[in-house]
Structure 1
């Protein structure tokens, strides 16, 4: 059997201590196959964002293990952890996190700069990513002057520039109108389908989640249900087809 790209085993995450202790995750186990699309669904406070942060190696679990392609990530610290995260993962967040007064190109080049890639190669790869997202004509524009949809496409370009194996998308359409959100959804699922990038979406949007291969429902820090694609809308359905 193929080794999962990510595997969580009895992951627990607590904040605070004593009377103020809060258990955000209470023993979560989950395998994520390379190349699949998966939605982690739950209400605010359910633990879905905490689970994403732990899977993405942005936060350490209080106990339990997270394996990346079969390797225990507890051995990763400091520079090795940052390098692994930067090389393996791309991130698309609801809040964009673009540097407002920097150019779109500079924003997209940032992961490559962190990775130590030379400037000429950074520029080449960033422009290629922007071309893929049909934003090459905005490369010199300041991020602050973009529309919401253009900002989110810039974020996706930034997520792609290091050719990641996994993209984490946290409420990726939450700040967008319906039409623009549908375009962003289609871009993410095209990347999953055509390039084999594992797509992990954290959302409370059931319609968005239904496009994924699997839907993982989390409540009060526990996985309560997993729904396979056989009972979900196929990921190949476009936004227009779903609206028909």
Structure 2
């Protein structure tokens, strides 16, 4: 767990983090009351890696209730610690990600949508996101005095991909910036950071950094699409510290 120096953000960006320090939030209960919390996209690995390891769409669909219950449990625990405003995001359109497109490549053009994304995978994600939204509605009934919103990362990501696809660098929309080989510049055996794996010269022209994660520029665009409207519904305002560009929201 890494917190920014002025404690206006926290990111869990360590693969397979085994234990999170729950005391971090408990000690900041008062701050949580006056801020909004954005729960990270915690289930992408459960779905994405299962698919790349040969699990069928039908089998992965059975994981959805378990994944959703875990997300709701996290939200409920944070509310009991003092959180009053939460955004629980859905999943991004994994069928557009280079690592999924590479692993589940199909020679049938009908398996892809107009953007070049795998329809079956994105249909799974839409179904999963619908399930989560119902769970959020139920959670709102459980905590009527708490603001709990759904974060439409799926829609925001598709908007960014669509804009890029029809832009001057449309051929880069589904390619990894840092990678090598194949149609999508992604090779799971020669991952970004491996010896002799190049990095693109202009990352801001790409949506995907390493085939699994977005570039900083793409994250910024998705954040603008997703967070700006949410701040209004959460009754928050944006404040930007002069020494950091991290988002901080308070009443």
TM-score by length of 1: 0.30
Larger fraction in helix: 2
Higher relative contact order, chain-length normalized (CA < 8 Å, sep 6+)? 1
Between Structure 1 and Structure 2, whose CA radius of gyration is higher?
2
Q: Which has the higher strand share?
A: 1
Per the normalisation by structure 2, the TM-score is 0.29
